[in-house]
């Protein structure tokens, strides 16, 4: 069923950072420096999605060098920091990567994420997202932001596409190609 939004149509996952990849803490060390806390299993999830041909992009209204490092480490296809409008930024990312909104899964946790979430194929939100955002999410995750929410959505996506079990078996077998993930 081409054109029908669903797990099999997704080509790109776009995620907010603070509150989705993190627990929403803004951590300052003195006046100048910023600390960011990510989740190691979210990182593996990025790698698993990519292995299945799904790209991962990040859009955030904030800016931090720590996030730039994490994004580079994980091979994030587009990192957009300092986004004034997440909807407009999403439109630019979609155009650049030549994907339509029907091929995008978007994860967000707060009001500025509402506009993109209401327009993509699948919207997902951590369990501790703002109530209005949870209402707008087709996928209401069981995990909190920074505590596996992104991992959970990738696992759900790959399960619905029938790709998860094969990945697990590759890990269990200890095959080198699995380990390089």
Q: List contacts with its own copies (CB under 8 A).
A: 18-19, 24-31, 33-41, 43-44, 62, 64-66, 68-70, 84-88, 109-112, 114-116, 118, 130, 132, 136, 146, 167-168, 171-174, 176, 178-181
How far apart are the C-alpha atoms of 17 and 55, rounded to whole Å? 16
Residue 134 structure tokens: 């949870």
Strand-pairing partners, residue 15, are 58, 107
Nearest distance from C-beta of residue 1 to its own copies, angstroms: 28
**CB closer to its own copies, 6 vs 181:** 181
Q: Which run of H or of E encompasses 40?
A: helix 40-51
| C-beta of 18 vs 78, nearer to its own copies | 18
d(CA 54, CA 15): 13
Nearest distance, CB of residue 89 and its own copies, angstroms: 9
Min. distance of Cβ 108 from its own copies in angstroms? 11
Are residues 90 and 104 in contact, defined by beta-carbon separation less than 8 angstroms? yes
Between 1 and 28, whose beta carbon lies closer to its own copies? 28
What is the Cα–Cα distance from 139 to 6, expressed in whole angstroms? 11
Closer to its own copies at the Cβ: 59 or 99? Answer: 59
Residue reference for tokens 């707060």: 110
């Amino acid at each position: 069923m081409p054109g029908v939004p669903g797990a099999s149509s997704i080509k790109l996952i776009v995620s907010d950072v603070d509150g989705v990849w993190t627990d929403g803490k803004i951590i300052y060390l003195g006046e100048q420096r910023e600390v960011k806390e990510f989740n190691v299993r979210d990182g593996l999830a990025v790698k698993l999605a990519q292995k299945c041909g799904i790209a991962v992009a990040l859009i955030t209204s904030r800016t931090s060098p720590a996030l730039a490092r994490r994004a580079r480490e994980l091979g994030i296809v587009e990192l957009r920091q300092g986004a004034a409008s997440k909807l407009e930024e999403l439109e630019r990312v979609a155009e650049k990567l030549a994907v339509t909104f029907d091929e995008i899964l978007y994860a967000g946790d707060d009001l500025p994420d509402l506009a993109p979430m209401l327009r993509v194929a699948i919207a997902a939100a951590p369990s501790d997202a703002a109530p209005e955002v949870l209402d707008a999410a087709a996928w209401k995750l069981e995990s909190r932001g920074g505590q596996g929410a992104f991992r959970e959505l990738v696992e759900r996506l790959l399960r619905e596409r029938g790709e998860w079990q094969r990945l697990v078996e590759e890990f269990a077998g200890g095959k080198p190609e699995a380990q390089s993930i």
